[in-house]
Amino acid sequence: MITVEGLTRKYGTFTAVDDVSFVCQPGRVTGFLGPNGAGKTTTMRIMVGLTAPTAGRVTIGGHLYQDIPNPGRHVGVLLDASAQHAGRTGREILELGARTMGLDGSRVDEMLELVSLTPGEAKRRLRNYSLGMKQRLGIAHALLGDPSVLILDEPANGLDPAGIRWMRGLLKGYAERGGTVLLSSHLLNEVELIADEMILIGHGKIVAQGDKKSLLAGAKGSGTTFVTALDNQVLAEALQAKGFVVAGAGDGLRVETEPVEVGRTAAEKAIVLTDLRAADGGLEDLFLELTSDTQREGMA
């Protein structure tokens, strides 16, 4: 379990992490989501003692990271997959980690196999690795010591679609066996599929947290419908006559009401529908809305 309590980190007058508190439970994947520069990496660096907090603290299973003996055996860390010596082979990088942790040499081969790096690729030097290969190696490094807690900064970065699906399965299975997983991302879709819990951060502050359902319940934008009919024109007029707000959207219409109202109107007027669904951008909208004052681009 990771417990973050009142964590603050200032750089001069700039506050990168601002009074952040949250908990990552064992058995669950916690997604740490926020736009660029929100403070995700800084928070994770503080967790493992690479950056000193200005205030607050983080405990992992009740201990400060610095107080965990041989921490690689308990906490798997991936902060930056390219922060490795460019002249070392992939295998040697894992070998150094395994030796530091006092692990069996066979563990290196197991991990290489787990992340699907071939023996030939493992012999290449890191400077010749592709982004995704570095990421796989980083994940292998984090898993080396068979830890019960994983802290991963943008682990899906650079992975191909098959790689992302593989990682999703890996982390889910890991949490199901009782592990604690914290992973960060600035891509909502990525986290939405993996995470059981979500923590949204913007401008160094937590703006929302909870599981997906409870976050969505609080989201605006429910009660919007996308509909396409054989004759959109007639449907739009019928809906407007009932007082609903209608706007064109792609091939169809966007209506500010529940799908059931749109269906009823269509049935009454005998209009053939080809598509009818609730607008499901809820979480995405929520994310953009909650972090809007921290976005670099104005919201469209």
Partner 1 sequence: MSTTAPGLGHALDISSTSPTPFSRLVRVELRKTWDTRAGLWLLISTAVVTALVMVIQLAVVVANDLQVSYNDFLTSTNFSIGLLLPVIGILLLTSEWSQRTAMVTFSLEPRRPHVIAAKFVVGIGLAVVAVIIALVLATICNALYGALSGDTVVWDQSAEQTAYFVLLQVIGMLTGFAFAALLLNSPAAIVLYMVYSFVLPGLFGLGAALIGWFEKIQPWIDFNDAQTGLFDGNGMSGDDWAHFAVSGFIWLVVPLGIGIARVLRAEVK
Ligand X SMILES: Nc1ncnc2c1ncn2[C@@H]1O[C@H](COP(=O)(O)OP(=O)(O)OP(=O)(O)O)[C@@H](O)[C@H]1O
Site for partner 1 in 112-141 (CB under 8 A): 113-114, 141
Q: Which of 55, 57, 34 is nearest to 203 (CA)?
A: 34
Residue 53 binding ligand X, by CB under 6 A? no
Residue 103 vs residues 3, 8, 70, 106, 142: alpha-carbon distances, Å: 28, 35, 11, 8, 13
Residue 36 binding ligand X, by CB under 6 A? yes
Residue 42 binding Mg ion, by CB under 5 A? no
* CB contact at 8 A, 99 and 144: no
> Considering only residues 30, 41, 224, 294, which one is a binding residue for Mg ion as defined by CB under 5 A?
41
Segment near ligand X (CB under 6 A); pick from 38-46, 97-105, 213-221, 282-290: 38-46
In the complex, minimum distance from the CB of residue 143 to ligand X, in angstroms, rounded to a whole number: 22
Please, which residue, 149 or 255, has the CB nearer to partner 1? 149
> Considering only residues 151, 180, 186, 206, which one is a binding residue for ligand X as defined by CB under 6 A?
186
* CB contact at 8 A, 181 and 108: no
Q: What is the CA radius of gyration of the chain?
A: 24
Please, which residue, 9 or 141, has the CB nearer to ligand X? 9
H helices within the chain, ranges in order? 40-47, 90-101, 106-114, 119-122, 131-143, 161-176, 188-194, 212-217, 232-241, 259-268, 282-290
Q: Which residues bind partner 1 (CB under 8 A)?
A: 1, 25-26, 45, 48-52, 60-63, 65-66, 68-74, 77, 79-80, 82-88, 92, 96-97, 99-102, 110, 113-114, 141, 143, 146-149, 170, 173-175, 177-179
